[in-house]
Amino acid sequence: MSDSTTKVRPSGQTVIGPDKDRFLSHDNPFEDMMARFDHAAELLGLDSGLYKVLRMPEKQIIVSVPIQLDNGEVEVFTGYRVLYNTSRGPAKGGIRFDLKVTLDEVKALAAWMTWKCAVVNIPFGGAKGAVVCDPTVLSLSELERITRRYTAALIDTFGPESDIPAPDVNTNERVMAWIMDTYSMHTRHAVTAVVTGKPVEMGGSLGRREATGRGCMIVTREALNHLKMPLKGTRVAVQGFGNVGSVAAELMAQEGMSIVAVSDNSSAIVNTKGVNVEAALAWIKEHRYLKGFPGGEEIPGNDLLTLDCDVLVPAAVENVITPHNAPSIKAKVICEGANGPTTAGADSILDDKGVFVIPDILANAGGVTVSYFEWVQDRGGYFWDEPTVNERLGRILRTSFQDVLSLSQRHAVNMRTAAYMLSIERVAAVHRLRGMYA
């Protein structure tokens, strides 16, 4: 694989360039995720034919995304879209803008979306998309051109009945608005249901922004109830203070839990008496990062994972809990707000320590659940108030948690394996009913 040509702004900031490190990684996120799939499939006794079908993505699309930069130069970015499985309904999954994203990572995320939608029993399949770029050095107009050109390249894939994108890393409501507009211009009429995570004024759902963090709070509350641990005073450490982590921290604090540590990519702050979450949010609003926040003691970022706490919420990036640090984790409960924060090699260590892990495909499924609500509202042309959205979200996540817990207890497996077993069986059941098209 050849490196791309490095382009540099007059300021010296790189727009896009060689990223050899990502190809030298010893961790393949797709195979890491599939290690869990294989274990669950074996326990289910999944027949070999269905195993082969469910282990392969349906479509892997690579597109070129050429745009003219603000300085007049032309740059060509690479875009990915993977549709993993659509047996239960249209593909659903976010789009991320990230310089380090790879096709294997997108495949893994699309598979996670498949199992995530199935575990909460909503009628979607799984997808994921990405553009390899560094949004921090691109202007707003350059990002808009990338988004619109990427959308145009995938115009035959996207659609309310086929593939419905959503925000992900470094994308947001504005990016979804550009996708919706581009798609609508091609179809010659407004198609609000082609994306979710849109501005409310364009058919977005109330409660969507908070949904993933709210879901983390709901399933954590269920886990504490199951373990007979009191809500009040439970000590929580949150890694990642973006949308998911900050909302989860805020809502957990409202439930009476004590947020003893928070972090972002600039700093980690610990306060054994409890971090004032509202003050931390106000600081970030003014300063952009947690760095310098006076509400606690600053510690090295990785130390947050091994703090003495009751609940750990890794809500930042993949592969932060590994065989190297898992033995030092002191939390009794881990709520995986991020996708894939725990490597397969760390699972058995956490099991041996008796840590109750709420797996990502359940813990952070609040976002896709409310995305489903948004899609339903767009298609029906009738919109719900926020209490209705939150009540229906709570009902689905509580039911899903109990479904996974029941399977975990019945088969004497951990929550992750049970979640995979439940989701794989739901997808496999539809394949059996539909049969094989030939």
- Is residue 358 within 8 A of residue 336, CB to CB? The reply is yes
Provide the 3-class DSSP secondary structure of residue 82.
strand
Residues with Cβ within 8 Å of 42's Cβ and at least 6 positions away in sequence, in order, are none
- Is residue 169 within 8 A of residue 97, CB to CB? The reply is yes
Instruction: Identify residue 346 by its one-letter amino acid code.
Output: A
92 belongs to the catalytic site: no
CA distance 394 to 400: 10
Strands 268-270 and 297-299: antiparallel
Among residues 92, 107, 116, 128, the one annotated as catalytic is 128
Q: How far is CA 29 from CA 25, 102, 104, 108, 239, in A?
A: 10, 10, 6, 6, 20
Phi, psi dihedrals of residue 60, rounded to the nearest 5°: -130, 110
State the maximum Cα–Cα separation within the chain, in Å, rounded to a whole number: 65
- Of 97, 88, 182, which is closest to residue 126 (Cα–Cα)? 88
Using DSSP, how many helices (H) and how many strands (E) does the chain show? 14, 14
- Of 174, 216, 222, which is closest to residue 198 (Cα–Cα)? 174
Joined together, the tokens standing for residue 217 give 């709070």
According to DSSP, residue 45 is labeled T
Catalytic residues: 128
